């Protein structure tokens, strides 16, 4: 498991005073600022202060940033936190980053593929599985009916494919 987790990404600038638009990956988007100082992949620190929301994104000020030009440079910057600073998950709860790369099997033991990504388009979590060696992927609802077991020791996820999904 990764020692760091990505909590969000800076989408771009907002206004002329150095504010940025942030896409949060936290369960409650606004809580991203409550985790304290975040950092990018190079270790540069960011202290966020939430100023509001616009079109599904958070608007945040970053300590020390006062111009739009400074904010524009940060477009695409991923914001990380050390795993040890996050709360432990309860049974049946997972950090999406921990699921990436798991081998996916059907209940009969047949390997289906590998977890490529996790998504949430508003109606619940979706697991994207890369099928075999092809570039084909399939999106599967991530719930107790379809994902019947996860074993991090064996790096394995068992999925029950809903009827008609792969037809």
Report the sign of the C-alpha dihedral through residues 30, 75, 80, 127, in that order.
positive
Half-sphere exposure for 62 (CA within 13 Å, toward CB): 26
Lowest mean pLDDT among 7-11, 108-112, 133-137, 154-158: 133-137
Fold of 4-84: Elongation Factor Tu (Ef-tu); domain 3 (2.40.30)
The model's pLDDT over 108-146, given as tens digits with 9 standing for 90+, comes to 999 999 999 988 777 788 999 998 777 889 999 999 899
Report the percent of the chain where pLDDT is more than 90: 57
Domain with CATH 2.30.30.240 in the chain: 96-159
What value does the mean pLDDT of the chain take? 89
The highest-level CATH class for domain 96-159 is mainly beta
Q: What is the pTM of this model?
A: 0.72
Helix (H) or strand (E) holding 123: none
Domain with CATH 2.40.30.60 in the chain: 4-84
């Amino acid at each position: 498991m990764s020692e760091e987790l990505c909590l969000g990404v800076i989408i771009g600038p907002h206004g002329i005073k150095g504010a940025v638009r942030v896409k949060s990956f936290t369960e409650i988007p606004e809580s991203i600022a409550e985790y304290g100082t975040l950092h990018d992949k190079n270790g540069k620190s960011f202290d966020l202060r939430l100023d509001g929301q616009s079109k599904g994104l958070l608007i945040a000020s970053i300590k020390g940033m006062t111009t739009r030009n400074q904010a524009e440079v940060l477009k695409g910057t991923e914001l990380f936190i050390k795993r040890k600073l996050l709360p432990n998950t309860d049974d049946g709860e997972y950090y999406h980053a921990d699921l990436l790369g798991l081998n996916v099997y059907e209940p009969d033991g047949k390997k289906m593929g590998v977890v490529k990504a996790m998504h949430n388009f508003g109606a619940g979590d979706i697991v994207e599985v890369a099928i075999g060696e092809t570039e084909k992927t399939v999106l599967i609802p991530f719930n107790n009916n379809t994902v019947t077991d996860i074993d991090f020791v064996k790096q394995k996820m068992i999925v029950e494919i809903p009827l008609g999904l792969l037809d």
